[in-house]
Amino acid sequence: MSFPALVEPADELTIDEVRRYSRHLIIPDVGMSGQKRLKNAKVLVIGAGGLGSPALLYLAAAGVHTLGIAEFDEVDESNLQRQIIHGQSDIGKSKAQSAKESIAETNPYVNVIVHETRLDNDNVMEIFKGYDLIVDGTDNFATRYMVNDAAYFLGIPYVWGSIYRFDGQASVFAPTLADDAPCYRCLYPEPPPPGMVPSCAEGGVLGVLCASIGSIQVNEAIKLLTGIGEPLVGKLMIYDALEMEYRKLKVRKDPNCALCGENPTVTGLIDYDAFCGAISDDAAEAAAGSTISVVQLEHMLKEREEGTRDFVLVDVREPNEYEINQIPGSVLIPKGDFLNGKALEQLPSDKQIVMHCKSGVRSAETLAIVKGAGYADAVHVGGGVVAWVNQIDPSQPSY
């Protein structure tokens, strides 16, 4: 199903703009009218990271005149494997400012508006107002649900994308464009259980996958802005980079959707952190009073070397993570082995169990399992190996 263009055409293109966008102008479906619509468009890209990087560059190159960037983070060296809008000299710089500078090099005719703040319930509606379209490049569920709800309340369509390891997904959510168009909650009524789906920082992502999904998002944005083709409204595009396979699934509007259904229960912004949960209730309960710092762990390791204390330090990350860095004296038992019960067979019953992961999320989840198995004095390390490298052993690489 095609939809009317989201924006009206600008009055004219300058001679320089005609030269720049000539390859668009000779496409019959785009032409002068379509390019003028792009010139008149205002698009907000949320995040200048993996998905936001290619999205921003291609939207700018395409001639979208006003680009908003909602990004609060700084450029880290680990970003450069996939976030192509940033370079080596940008490390430590604001991502939003770095992206703005790159866009200026790509297309000096683009007006960039920087929203250098974390999106939350207090500012999201105000930031979204005035934009014709939103491109969502966020990487956490709480923000995705907030973006979906705020866009719905404001009547702004948005293009969604998601990436993990070798897999990507993309869709367009625009319930205000058609009565039968679904929203993100129609596809995912509830977030996954806390700790069930690792983030890219925990599970990794193939760098080039960001370009694959980010370019699909821009393609959909151009179609919506100019009114050409059939956007992914009511469709979910799934990409498997290992198999080089694209699949397209039908997504139907859920009449029982909490947001856009017949009897909505979500009628305003909610507490999205509580809705999604960083960790499960069991993990939070297990970690309460059973969390130690890396400074405490360092002291415990010294006592173990002196023979005045005995415990088992368990690293619950994946083997490939263990190869990057590790806390000395740790034993690798991945989280999956705790979930299937195999790990409990490897734990001694006469020693205290100390657990850690990258940041403390996975170790809190496994701590709940261990405590449930009877290891009442088990603890986990808050901040995980990230805190260990930052505070105790900066000679090791971080990731």
Nearest CA-CA partner of 184 in 229, 138, 126? 138
Kindly report the number of other CB atoms within 10 A of residue 189's CB atom.
13
Q: How far is CA 299 from CA 58, 220, 326, 382, in A?
A: 51, 55, 17, 15
Residue 276 is among the residues annotated as catalytic for this protein: no
**Residue 172 contacts residue 221 (beta carbons within 8 Å):** no
**Residue 372 contacts residue 339 (beta carbons within 8 Å):** no
Cα(179)–Cα(181) distance, integer angstroms:
6
Residue 357 is among the residues annotated as catalytic for this protein: yes
Query: Which of 183, 200, 260, 276 is labelled catalytic?
Result: 200
Query: Which of 186, 210, 276, 357 is labelled catalytic?
Result: 357
Beta-bridge partners for 45: 69, 135
Buried b / exposed e along 302-336 (16+ C-beta atoms within 10 A): eebeeeeeebbbbbbbbeebeeebbbeebeebbbe
Active site residues: 200, 357
